[in-house]
Chains A and B, each alone.
With several copies, the nearest count.
Chain A
Amino acid sequence: MPVMNVVQAVRQAMHEEMKRDPRVIILGEDIGKRGGVFLATEGFLEEFGEGRVIDAPLAEAAIAGIAVGAAMNGLRPIAEIEFTDFIWPTVNQLVGEAPRIRYGTNGALTVPMVVRAPYGGGVRGGLYHSQSAEAFFAHTPGLKVVCPATPYDAKGLLKAAIRDDDPVMFFEHKRTYRLVRGEVPEDEYVIPIGQAEVKRKGEHITLVTYGLMLHYSLEAANTLAQEGKSVEVVDLRTVRPLDKETILASVTKTGRVLIVHEDNKTGGIGAEVAAIIAEEAFQYLDAPIMRLCGPDVPAMPFAPTLEAEFMPSPQKIAAALKKLAAY
Chain B
Amino acid sequence: MTNCNSVRGMGLATKSKPGIAAVTASENRHNLLGLTAERLLDIYQRMVLSRTLDQRVWQLNRQGKAAIVASAQGHEAAQVGSALALDKDRDLFFTYYRSMAVCVALGVTPTEVLLTFMAKVGEPFSGARQFPLHGAYMQHRIINVSNVVAAHLTKADGAALAFKTRQEFGVVIAYFGDGASSEGECHEAMNFAGVHRLPIIFFCENNRYAISVPLDKQMAIQDVAIRAQGYGFPGVVVDGSDLLAVMEATGNAAARARAGEGPTLIEAKVERFMPHTSDDDDRRYRSKAELEEMRGKADPLGKLRSYLLEQGILTPEMDKAYLAKALAEVNEATDFAEKAPYPDTSTFYDHLHSPGTRGV
Contact = CB atoms under 8 A, between A and B. Distances in A.
Interface string B133-159: 011111000010111111101111111
A96 B152 CA distance: 12
Contacts of B292: none
Interface stretch (B103-111, B322-330, B346-354): B346-354
Contact of B344 (A92, A100, A108, A305): A305
Contacts of A68: 154-155, 158
Interface residues of B, number: 78
A221 to B, nearest CB: 26
Contacts of B182: 57-59, 62
B183 A109 contact: no
B171 to A, nearest CB: 12
A56 B134 contact: no
Interface stretch (A2-10, A121-129, A279-287): A121-129
A182 interface: no
B260 interface: no
A306 B347 contact: yes
Interface string B113-143: 0000001100001111111001111100001
B162 A103 contact: no
Interface in A47-99: 51-52, 54-62, 64-75, 77, 85-86, 88-89, 92-93, 96-97
Contacts of A60: 183
A33 B290 CA distance: 15
B185 A305 contact: no
A67 B156 CA distance: 10
B45 interface: no
Contacts of B67: 124, 302
A244 interface: yes
A-B pairs, top 6 by smallest CB distance, nearest first, are: A69-B158, A65-B154, A241-B359, A69-B155, A106-B127, A34-B212
Interface of A: 25, 29-30, 32-35, 37, 51-52, 54-62, 64-75, 77, 85-86, 88-89, 92-93, 96-97, 100-110, 124, 126-129, 141-142, 144, 164-166, 192-195, 241-244, 266, 295-298, 301-306, 308-310
23 contacts: A32-B212, A33-B284, A34-B213, A54-B196, A57-B195, A58-B213, A58-B218, A61-B185, A62-B157, A62-B189, A65-B157, A69-B154, A73-B163, A88-B148, A97-B151, A101-B145, A102-B352, A127-B131, A165-B354, A266-B360, A305-B343, A306-B348, A310-B348
Given A67-B158, A295-B348, 11 more contacts: A57-B218, A58-B183, A59-B191, A64-B154, A66-B154, A69-B159, A69-B161, A89-B184, A96-B148, A104-B135, A244-B359
